[in-house]
């Protein structure tokens, strides 16, 4: 993409998504994620109605009176956008391809965090971590994230969700808000997700195109596998072939729902024709 065209596209996305985050998601984001981190502030005497779980038993024993620990919210949070850029994420049946849809959605989340004075970081992954942008604050930082989402080319077309989860676990020691955006067509990542979710506030956003759900009967056709790069011949006229594909696709969706629910993580599903702002708003309100 030419630099001039890229800047135009970045500006267009900035105007659209910043307006959404300012007028719609700013307050919803803040009320959803406030108080996720708590820092020790002081010890004071127990008062009627205090939570007994906050009693500091060491201090209580030392002074022969009941004291409790007081914590304050750590207002500054870190949002990590963990985004799949493998081959299957560049497939779509209309003019708004998955990666463009994902860019707008991610930019809305990033501007919402920025409005709340939170840091935002980015990881682009395939079966490797392709790009890591450390968490920072500010509009210029979000614009860099948008540019990378629009322009970055993956070196690998395969997907392994285990890789970014382990990577983030190693580099972020404090609790963060993590949005994993993918079609979640990957090998088993249940254990990695369980460990990751125990330390971070995680939401999986499954992006898909309606045309991926079923194979239409088009007879014998040649298709490209975006993840392997191979060109294969498929008899779409075969009912068995269409059924096998549907079973595989539905099994991957079921895995996504099962893994995230089992780990206590949030779930959003968007097809590329959905209004993502409504999906995000509904999710924030449900939290």
Instruction: Identify the DSSP state of 230.
Output: -
39 SS3 class: strand
**CA 96 centroid distance within chain:** 19
- pLDDT tens digits, residue range 247-273? 888 899 999 999 999 999 999 999 988
The residue ranking higher by pLDDT, 219 or 279, is 279
- Rounded Cα gap, residues 188 and 192, in angstroms: 9
- Band (pLDDT 50/70/90 cuts) for residue 95 is very low
Pairing, β 119-125 against β 78-84: parallel
* Nearest CA among 232, 203, 234 for reference residue 217: 234
Cα Dmax for the chain: 83
**What is the domain partition of the chain in residue ranges?**
3-32+77-286, 38-73
Token pair 């501007």 is found at: 111
The residue ranking higher by pLDDT, 237 or 8, is 8
Token pair 């935002």 is found at: 120
pTM above 0.85, yes or no: no
Q: What's the token pair of residue 31?
A: 């009320």
* In contact, 22 and 111? CB cutoff 8 Å: yes
Superfamily of chain region 3-32+77-286: von Willebrand factor, type A domain (3.40.50.410)
């Amino acid at each position: 993409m030419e630099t001039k065209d890229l800047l135009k596209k970045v500006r267009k996305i900035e105007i659209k998504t910043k307006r959404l985050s300012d007028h719609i998601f700013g307050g919803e984001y803040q009320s959803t994620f406030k108080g996720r981190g708590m820092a020790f502030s002081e010890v004071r005497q127990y008062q009627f109605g205090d939570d007994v779980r906050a009693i500091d038993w060491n201090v209580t024993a030392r002074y022969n009176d009941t004291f409790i620990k007081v914590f304050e919210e750590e207002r500054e949070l870190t949002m990590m956008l963990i985004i799949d850029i493998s081959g299957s994420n560049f497939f779509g049946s209309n003019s708004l391809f998955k990666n463009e849809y994902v860019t707008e959605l991610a930019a809305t989340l990033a501007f919402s965090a920025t409005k709340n004075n939170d840091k935002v970081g980015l990881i682009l992954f395939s079966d490797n971590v392709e790009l890591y942008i450390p968490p920072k604050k500010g509009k210029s930082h979000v614009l860099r994230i948008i540019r990378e989402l629009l322009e970055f080319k993956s070196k690998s077309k395969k997907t392994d969700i285990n890789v970014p989860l382990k990577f983030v676990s190693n580099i972020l020691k404090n609790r963060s808000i993590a949005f994993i955006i993918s079609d979640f067509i990957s090998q088993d990542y249940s254990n990695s997700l369980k460990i990751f979710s125990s330390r971070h506030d995680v939401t999986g956003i499954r992006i898909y195109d309606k045309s991926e759900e079923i194979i239409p009967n088009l007879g014998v056709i040649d298709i490209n596998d975006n993840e392997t790069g191979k060109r294969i011949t498929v008899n779409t006229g075969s009912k068995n072939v269409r059924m096998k594909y549907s079973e595989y696709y539905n099994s991957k969706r079921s895995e996504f729902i099962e893994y995230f629910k089992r780990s206590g993580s949030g779930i959003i599903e968007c097809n590329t024709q959905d209004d993502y702002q409504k999906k995000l708003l509904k999710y924030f309100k449900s939290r």
